[in-house]
Every structure is written in C-alpha cells, then in structure tokens.
Structure 1
Amino acid sequence: MKAILYVCHGTRVKEGEEQAKQFIERCKEEIDVSIQEVSFLELSSPTIEQGFRTCVEKGATEIVVIPILLLTAGHAKEDIPQELQQVQNKFPHINVKYGRPFGVHQKIIQLLLQRISETKKEIQSDARLLLVGRGSTDPDTKRDFSLIVEALKKESSFKDIDVCFLAATDPTFEEGLIKAKQSQNSQVFVVPYLLFTGVLMKGMQKTLKNYSDEQQEFILSNYLGYHPLLEEVLHERVYEQIVSDGRS
C-alpha cells in the first residue's frame, strides 16, 4: 500500500508549525492516497522517523517522501536523505521514493508578483526589487536565484533586481540594503523568499525602519506563505512520483 510522507522544515515559532500542518491538510484533500502523514526535519514534531513509523503502522509498503522546501539545497540533498536512510535501515522491506522540493517554478514567480501587488504601492519606473532568501552554502541556491531573477525580469517591470541572503552566504541582507540605499531608486521593494513566518520576518521589519526616508521608500512585502499556488506545485511534486512507475 502506498503512503505519502511530507517533510516540512520545522520552526520554533508555533504559528509557523501550525501553518505548515494546515497547508498539508488542505493538500491531502486533493490527493487520492489513503495514507498521508506530515513530519518535520527539525525543531517541530512529529519527526521524520515518527511520521515514517506511522505510515508503516497504517499498512504502507511504499512511502513517497515529499520535501516541503522551496529550493534544492543542503536540507533536500543531504539532511533529509540521511534521516531517511537511518529510518529505512530499520524498515528494509519498505520501498521509499524521494520527491523534489518546489524548485524554481512559474507559479512561484506568479506568487512573488502577487505579494508585491498586495503592498498596494504603485510601482515607479525606477523601482528596485530586492529578493531576500534564507541562504545556504549549497552553490545551487545562487543558481536557482539567478533563474528566479531572470523570470521576474521577464514577468515584471523591474529593471533592477538584486538578491541577498539572511544567512550562510553573500551578499548578506545588510549588504543588499546598503547597495539599494546607494542606488537612489525612489522605491525598493523588499520581497522575502520565505515559506513561513518567524523571527526572520520580524527582524527584517525592524531593520527596514532605519532605511526609508523622504527620498527613498523601502517597502516590505509579505513572505510567500502556504498559498494555493504552492498547493498546486505540491500536487505536481506528489503526482510526478505517484505516476513515475506507471501506476496511478
């Protein structure tokens, strides 16, 4: 019997954990698989092992594991597979298939533009966009953001688009803001490429208060969040694994 195990990142912020669980519950309703469980890589529960065991206890013989992550970086390529290997060693009779994170996707580009639109600010001709990622030492992160920038330039009126990161890699958020400040663009739209709420957003809000003035407005959009567009992307990631062996 087939099961799906969703692996979210996890957070110390209870609101972020609940948002993830609610997102998975909504997605489960549209997927015709009887066993579907949620788990977390760190900081929240149930853990990957607990979620895996629950699937097995419910009768699963094959488990499709879907990482609820925005990009393909260290968590997706190393941390989750390592956890799964340890668990699978305890259940060698279970067939495990590992799916893809959301990745660079046109629907996420649409969501970014929607978040900018939701600020209710008219975009000036010289407006600059600063895209803020969580950050990773994995080189694929910068590659993916380059693809996102290319897509945004095609889909929007922004001529100047920069990327910065909150941790682990350069340029830092502070460096991105300083560059934007020096650019003298009349508007700087700061767009967090983050999946859930947490201390990072609160820190960004506090930092930006020191940057806006009469000549230059810094505008913080909402983070991506567990939006219906992401539900559609998740459905794609699930079904590409379910049908990959020729069975529905």
Structure 2
Amino acid sequence: MKEGILLCGHGSRRAAAVTSFKRLVTVLKERYEDKYEVDYGFLEFNHPTYEAAVERMYLNGVRKIYALPVILFAGSHAKNDIPFELNTLQTYHDDLTISMAKHIGVSSFLLDLAVKRITETEAKLTPLDRKETCLIVVGRGTTDPDANSDVAKLMNMLWEGLGFGFATVGYSGTAYPNVKESLELVNKLGFKRTIIIPFFFFTGVLLERIYGAVAAMHEKSEHEYIYTDPFGTDELILKAFDERLDEAKNGMANMNCQMCKYRKQVVGFEEYLGQEQMGHHLNVKGVLFEEDEKPGETKGGISNTIKKILGI
C-alpha cells in the first residue's frame, strides 16, 4: 500500500511565514521521500487546503496518510480544527485511511533545541552568571489550560536545568500573562539580563509582535533584554517529527486526555466538557492566494477573480 505524509500547517497572512513553512516541507520531503509521498496543506488563509492536498495524494495512489501537525502545543487547532478537517476528508474515500499524529508537545528534542537556542544567544553576549539572568519562555497561548501548562512545564525544566536566577512564561495571545505583562513584571525584579525564547517554528505576525515588545523594553529599561531565534528546521525539530511519525505508524499517537477540558471537568472550564468537535476556520480557509502574498503585484484581474470564484 502506498503511504503518504500530510504536513498540516496553520497558515499565515505573512508571506515570510509561509515561505518558512514551505522550507520545512522541502526538508521533510527530502527526509521521507524514499518511503512516503509528502504533501502539505494549510488550515487557514493559504493554499493548498488540506482537502486539495489529500485529493492530490489520493489521485497519486496514496491510500494511507499520516497527518503530522506542524504545531507545538495542543490547543484548539490540534484538538478540534485539524481533527475535524481530517475526519471530514476521511469520509470522501472508502479505501483511504488517515491517521493523525500527535503535536510536538513536551518533547526531549524540543527541550534540547530550546537549550541550543539559549546557549547560541548567550554565546553572542558578554559573559554573565546565569543567576543574574532571567528567562522568559513565550508560547502561542490558547484558551486551553492543558496546552498552556505544557509551556510552563518546559519553562520550569529549563529554569532548573540551566540554573537561571528566575524564569517565567508569557503568551502572545489569549492566555495570561501576555508578553508585555511578563516583561513588565521581570523588569521590576532587577535582573541584569533577560533572555526571551519564543516557542515558535517560524516568523509571522505573532513573532513580530513578540520581538517588537522585547525591543521596546530593551530600549526603555536599564537592563538587557535579548530574544532568541525561532526553532526553524533544526535537526532536533526534525527528530521530534520522526518520533511523532513513528508513534502514528504504531498506533501510539495518544493525546494528553487526563487534563483535557473536553474530556475532564477542569476548574474554570466546566462548560467545555463533552463539547462537540468542530472546526472554527471554515470562513478563512484558503482565502489568500499566491498572488496576494507577493508584494508589488496586481491583485485584481479576470484570471484572479475566476480563481477566487472556483476556489483554486
């Protein structure tokens, strides 16, 4: 049976973020092409959609697809939106099987990569005892406390493992505290240096905002505020994908359901218990086109209008 891998991206309004994602796709295609057909799709904004990618793979003879979410933590995208899309696509062909892998989550490879990004950043700076340095770990932030707690867990492991004077979390949206609040808090503590590590794959709107907030604090504070690079296509993140793929192939791609607000009554989130799994990105699925992502090019014209009408 011909097998394939679907890389499940989120999508972005920033062309640079889409380009970075496609770079990861290229790297993973080269990594897996001997055994699998590799394709990709986006949940929102960009093309191809998951549906287009799955149909393309099916027409190429693929009958078993392993869907790898290019997502770090299990918020609503990993628990609702992507499974909803894949479950829908599964019904289109009786002879096609789609198995969804687990998100990256709390992984030893992710922890090692975070250490690598931190030490790379420190190597560019004047030497300073880590006891005089604070660490802020920044996550995407969701309405799911289970996903947010994974960010906090990794933060604590980095704090204890690397011996920083203090560490805390910040979130780019939805969750508390946000990045600006974390920076203001840390600034009151008086650490000579604060390193901010964003747990993000690529650049994009949110990462630009994080970097902007850090730069603003560095400018106004008497202390030093430095951010690290995102994770990108480092070999360690590729090994994390290898691990998730292997789990999916062996039927071990288990989500953390012990503290999931949809399966357990979690304090403050009682109304989510047993909520129906439903996608929330249908109104923005594939609304951007390649032409729209290239600055300086005309976005109008008959051909582009026809493309939008046909959804291609």
TM-score by length of 1: 0.92
| Corresponding residue to 1:65 among 64, 67, 90 | 67
Q: 1: distance between equivalents of 2:99 and 2:144? A: 23
Q: 1: distance between equivalents of 2:169 and 2:221? A: 24
- 1:13-162 matched pairs, under 5 angstroms: 13-31=14-32, 32-119=34-121, 120-121=124-125, 122-124=127-129, 125-162=131-168
Q: Which has the larger displacement, 97-106 or 151-160? A: 151-160
TM-score by length of 2: 0.74
Q: 1: distance between equivalents of 2:206 and 2:99? A: 32
**Root mean square deviation, CA, Å:** 1.8
User: Does the 8 Å contact 1:20/1:226 carry over to 2?
Assistant: no
Q: Which position in structure 2 is the counterpart of 1:223?
A: 230
- 1:136-215 matched pairs, under 5 angstroms: 136-212=142-218, 215=222
Q: For structure 1, list consecutive stretches of 5 or more residues without a partner in the other structure.
A: none
Deviation per residue, 1:197-227 (Å, 9 max, x gap): 0122322333233323574111111122222
**2:91 counterpart SS class:** helix
**1:210 counterpart SS class:** helix
Deviation per residue, 1:45-104 (Å, 9 max, x gap): 111101110111011122111111111221111000111122222223311211111111
Q: For structure 2, list consecutive stretches of 5 or more residues without a partner in the other structure.
A: 253-312
1:242 partner amino acid: K
Q: Which has the larger displacement, 29-38 or 105-114? A: 29-38
User: Does the 8 Å contact 2:64/2:96 carry over to 1?
Assistant: yes
User: Does the 8 Å contact 1:4/1:33 carry over to 2?
Assistant: no
Q: Which has the higher strand share?
A: 1
Tell me the number of residue pairs that the alignment of Structure 1 and Structure 2 aligns.
245
| Corresponding residue to 1:232 among 230, 236, 239 | 239
1:240 partner amino acid: E
Q: 1: distance between equivalents of 2:84 and 2:240? A: 25
Q: Which has the larger displacement, 15-24 or 229-238? A: 15-24
Larger radius of gyration: 2
